[in-house]
């Protein structure tokens, strides 16, 4: 809107002779004049609203301001004030920083001799928003030269102000970015430059000038030939610059170069097109980096890779030879381990067989002899009245000791190999064994086993019996528990054994040692060997409330 000229239109209605007749009975000329006046006023109002133009007339003598709808809207003036309120209502709406300047401009117009008034200021609305406006007017005076009326117009220029402010901010940012870019390009170690369409340098940064030993005015406007590049390299670079202009595509290449100052090395350069608003290449921008160190490292890397390849081949041969040797040794170890496992199984079987044999010997021979001895002593006891008092006492003691020895021999025989295990199976042998422990010790042992448990292969029954025997022995010796529960269950593929005591538990450090295999007692090792014989599993869970041992033995 800047530069527009505004003209205040003062429209005077044509004098129409009043008629006492009804308007609808007025003559055609009168109705035409009234319609013309109404259309003109509406048209003017539409033009003012469309162009965001407001009008006012200040009756200076009466201090009454007549405002149109646009002015009332801009100043947030009530309809009452708009129809003849004081000018102070409008002055108060002006921004406090602009109020004195506007008042001075009004006073200057009133004082004359220049009756014209024009100023630009801000309006602060009641909701806090701000509008920029341009106000123009002209003081009308009476015959004596005193101010009488002050009509004028006001234009809303808020959007223009926003655009101007954005343009100023954008211009500032562009200038700032240009400065930053110039400082950056002049301080980096890489070479930065710009070519014009003739392939001449349009811009060169300080790093490249230092390489050439030139000043900016000595380099700008020159091409590669002018700057004493080798002819072959200069021709290649000029062709590449021209190619970027023609194809609008960038390129990356590298070359060795030594400048007239003697400085040089191996360089990687990048050319990129700069497109103008019409889609044409206006400039070619480029950057060059010294990659001499990288080239040396690449060469060193290639040499290292060759040496590494030779070393890898040598190591591969050595590794294959060593692997074959280790595989042979590992096979020997596995064979020895398998042999030891078979030996361990045979030792366990031999121990069981020897225990069965010793138990039978104790039961059949020693037990029978002790029984015969007891019978003989009983016969002597029937004639003890022929013996001396001392002999009678000795005989009674011998009979008592013989009974005790016979009971211990039977207990040892049952512990080594209960005869019920062979005859009627694991359930009966376990019940008999646990009844004996309950009689001989202060620990209560409960057996939980289904009535239809049935028979198992003899080797499995022996292993299960010995495992339970070892668990209860350890519980009796170490747990200080007064109660233990033995639970046996089975399914078509495995037998599960669970022994639970209520003792002091196993220390955590000992549990870790047992799990890692670093240490274990003879009994636990025997249990592991028996379970390993069947590829079973063993798990020990222990805390201050007691110990749980769970074993699973597959049934063949």
State the Cα–Cα distance between residues 479 and 499, nearest whole angstrom. Answer: 12
412 and 436 part of one domain: no
State the Cα–Cα distance between residues 382 and 74, nearest whole angstrom. Answer: 143
Q: Taking a C-beta distance cutoff of 8 angstroms, is the pair 502, 546 a contact? A: yes
Confidence check: pLDDT of 351 > 70: no
Average pLDDT, the chain: 80
Say which residue, 231 or 374, is predicted with more confidence. 231
161-170: pLDDT as tens digits:
888 777 777 7
Please report the pLDDT score of residue 531 as a whole number. Answer: 85
User: Does 76 fall in a domain?
Assistant: yes
Say which residue, 226 or 402, is predicted with more confidence. 226
Confidence check: pLDDT of 489 > 80: yes
- From 417, 447, 479, the end of a domain falls on 417
Please report the pLDDT score of residue 332 as a whole number. Answer: 82
User: Does 259 fall in a domain?
Assistant: yes
**Consecutive H or E run containing 542:** strand 537-543
431 and 529 part of one domain: yes
**Consecutive H or E run containing 25:** none
User: Does 181 fall in a domain?
Assistant: no
244 falls in which pLDDT band (50, 70, 90)? very high
The DSSP-derived string for 239-296 is HHHHHHHHH---EEEEEEEE-TTS-EEEEEEEEEEEE-TTS-EEEEEEEEEE-HHHHH
Mean pLDDT of 228-241: 94
Please report the pLDDT score of residue 366 as a whole number. Answer: 64
Please report the pLDDT score of residue 3 as a whole number. Answer: 34
Question: How buried is residue 108: exposed, middle or buried, by Cβ count under 10 Å (0-12/13-18/19+)?
Answer: middle
Q: What is the DSSP letter of 405?
A: H
Percent of the chain with pLDDT over 70: 78
Mean pLDDT of 188-193: 85
6-56: pLDDT as tens digits:
333 333 333 334 444 454 555 566 655 555 555 544 444 444 444 468 888
Note the maximum CA span of the chain.
183
Confidence check: pLDDT of 219 > 60: yes
318 and 384 part of one domain: yes
433-485: pLDDT as tens digits:
888 788 877 888 999 999 888 888 888 888 888 888 888 888 888 888 889 99
Q: Taking a C-beta distance cutoff of 8 angstroms, is the pair 122, 130 a contact? A: yes
State the Cα–Cα distance between residues 153 and 137, nearest whole angstrom. Answer: 6
CB atoms within 10 A of CB 345: 16
The DSSP-derived string for 104-170 is HHHHHHHH-S--EEEEEEEEE-TTS-EEEEEEEEE-EE-TTS-EEEEEEEEEE-HHHHHHHHHHHHH
Confidence check: pLDDT of 391 > 90: no
- pTM attached to this predicted model: 0.36
2 falls in which pLDDT band (50, 70, 90)? very low
Mean pLDDT of 212-231: 93
State the Cα–Cα distance between residues 414 and 408, nearest whole angstrom. Answer: 10
The two three-digit tokens of residue 319, written as one number: 């590794």
220 falls in which pLDDT band (50, 70, 90)? very high
76 falls in which pLDDT band (50, 70, 90)? confident
User: Does 404 fall in a domain?
Assistant: yes
201 and 322 part of one domain: no
Q: Which region among 34-48, 229-243, 411-425 has the lowest average model confidence (pLDDT)?
A: 34-48
Please report the pLDDT score of residue 520 as a whole number. Answer: 60
368 and 452 part of one domain: no
278 and 343 part of one domain: no
139 and 258 part of one domain: no
106-119: pLDDT as tens digits:
999 899 888 899 99
Say which residue, 363 or 96, is predicted with more confidence. 96
Confidence check: pLDDT of 543 > 90: no
47 and 29 part of one domain: yes
Please report the pLDDT score of residue 38 as a whole number. Answer: 52
Domain that holds residue 425: 420-554
375 and 413 part of one domain: yes
Confidence check: pLDDT of 193 > 90: yes
399 and 455 part of one domain: no
- What b/e sequence results for 442-479 when a residue is b if at least 16 CB atoms lie within 10 Å of its CB, and e otherwise? ebebebeeeeeeeebeebbbbbbbbbbbbbbebbbeeb
Q: What are phi and psi of 230, to 5 degrees?
A: -55, 140
Please report the pLDDT score of residue 416 as a whole number. Answer: 62
Please report the pLDDT score of residue 16 as a whole number. Answer: 38
State the Cα–Cα distance between residues 108 and 368, nearest whole angstrom. Answer: 149
Q: Work out how many domains the chain is built from and give that number.
A: 4
Please report the sign of the dihedral spanned by the C-alpha atoms of residue 495, residue 499, residue 505, residue 510: negative
The two three-digit tokens of residue 242, written as one number: 């021209």
412 and 454 part of one domain: no
State the Cα–Cα distance between residues 70 and 50, nearest whole angstrom. Answer: 10
Nearest to 127 by CA among 89, 101, 93, 97: 93
State the Cα–Cα distance between residues 475 and 445, nearest whole angstrom. Answer: 11
Q: Taking a C-beta distance cutoff of 8 angstroms, is the pair 273, 249 a contact? A: yes
Nearest to 489 by CA among 458, 520, 521, 464: 464
User: Does 411 fall in a domain?
Assistant: yes
The DSSP-derived string for 327-375 is HHHHHHHHHHHHHHHHHHHHHHHHHHHHHHHHHHHIIIIIHHHHHHHHH
Confidence check: pLDDT of 211 > 60: yes
230 and 320 part of one domain: no
User: Does 355 fall in a domain?
Assistant: yes
5 falls in which pLDDT band (50, 70, 90)? very low
CATH of the domain at 273: 3.30.450.20
Mean pLDDT of 371-390: 73
Q: What is the DSSP letter of 94?
A: B
User: Does 482 fall in a domain?
Assistant: yes
Please report the pLDDT score of residue 49 as a whole number. Answer: 46
- From 374, 392, 417, the end of a domain falls on 417
User: Does 6 fall in a domain?
Assistant: no
The two three-digit tokens of residue 132, written as one number: 């920029």
State the Cα–Cα distance between residues 98 and 122, nearest whole angstrom. Answer: 7
243 falls in which pLDDT band (50, 70, 90)? very high
Percent of the chain with pLDDT over 90: 28
């Amino acid at each position: 809107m800047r530069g527009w000229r505004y003209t205040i239109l003062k429209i005077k209605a044509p004098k129409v002779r009043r008629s006492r007749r009804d308007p609808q009975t007025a003559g055609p000329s009168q109705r035409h004049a009234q319609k013309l006046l109404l259309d003109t006023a509406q048209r003017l109002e539409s033009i003012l609203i469309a162009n965001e133009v407001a009008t006012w007339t200040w009756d200076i003598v009466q201090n009454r301001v007549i405002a149109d709808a646009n002015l009332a809207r801009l100043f947030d003036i009530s309809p009452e004030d708009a129809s003849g309120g004081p000018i102070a209502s409008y002055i108060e709406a002006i921004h406090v920083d602009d109020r004195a300047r506007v008042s001075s401009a009004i006073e200057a117009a009133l004082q004359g001799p220049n009756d014209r008034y024009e100023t630009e200021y801000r309006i602060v609305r009641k909701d806090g928003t701000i509008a920029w406006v341009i106000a123009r007017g002209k003081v009308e005076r009476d015959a004596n030269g005193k101010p009488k009326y002050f009509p004028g117009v006001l234009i809303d220029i808020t959007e223009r102000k926003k655009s101007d402010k954005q343009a100023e901010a954008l211009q500032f940012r562009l200038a700032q970015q240009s400065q930053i870019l110039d400082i950056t390009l002049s301080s980096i170690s890489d070479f930065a430059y710009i070519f014009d369409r003739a392939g001449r340098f349009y811009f060169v940064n300080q790093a490249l000038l230092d390489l050439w030993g030139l000043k900016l005015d000595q380099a700008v406007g020159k091409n590669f030939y002018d700057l004493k590049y080798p002819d072959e390299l200069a021709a290649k670079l000029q062709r590449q610059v021209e190619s970027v202009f023609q194809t609008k595509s960038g390129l990356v290449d590298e070359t060795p170069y030594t400048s007239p100052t003697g400085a040089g090395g191996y360089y990687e350069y990048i050319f990129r097109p700069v497109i103008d608003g019409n889609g044409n290449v206006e400039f070619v921008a480029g950057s060059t980096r010294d990659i001499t160190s990288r080239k040396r490292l690449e060469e060193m890397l290639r040499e290292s890779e060759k040496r590494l390849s030779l070393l890898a081949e040598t190591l591969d041969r050595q590794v294959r030879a060593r692997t074959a040797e280790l595989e042979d040794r590992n096979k020997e170890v596995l064979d020895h381990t398998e042999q030891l496992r078979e030996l361990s199984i045979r030792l366990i079987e031999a121990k069981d067989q020897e225990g069965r044999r010793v138990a039978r010997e104790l039961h059949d021979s020693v037990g029978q002899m002790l029984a015969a001895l007891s019978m003989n002593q009983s016969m002597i006891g029937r004639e003890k009245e022929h013996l001396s008092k001392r002999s009678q006492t000795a005989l009674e003691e011998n009979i008592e000791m013989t009974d005790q020895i016979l009971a211990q021999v039977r207990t040892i025989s049952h512990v080594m190999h209960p005869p019920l295990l062979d005859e009627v199976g694991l359930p009966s042998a376990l019940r008999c064994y646990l009844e004996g422990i309950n009689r001989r010790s202060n620990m209560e042992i409960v057996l939980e086993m289904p009535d239809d448990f049935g028979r198992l292969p003899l080797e499995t029954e022996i292993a299960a019996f010995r495992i339970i025997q070892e668990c209860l022995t350890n519980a009796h010796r170490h747990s200080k528990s007064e109660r233990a529960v033995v639970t046996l269950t089975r399914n078509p593929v495995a037998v599960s054994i669970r022994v639970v005591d209520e003792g002091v538990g196993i220390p955590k450090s000992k549990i870790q040692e047992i799990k890692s295999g670093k240490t274990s007692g003879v009994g636990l090792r025997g249990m592991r060997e028996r379970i390993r014989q069947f590829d079973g599993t063993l798990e020990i869970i222990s805390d201050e409330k007691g110990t749980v041992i769970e074993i699973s033995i597959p049934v063949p």
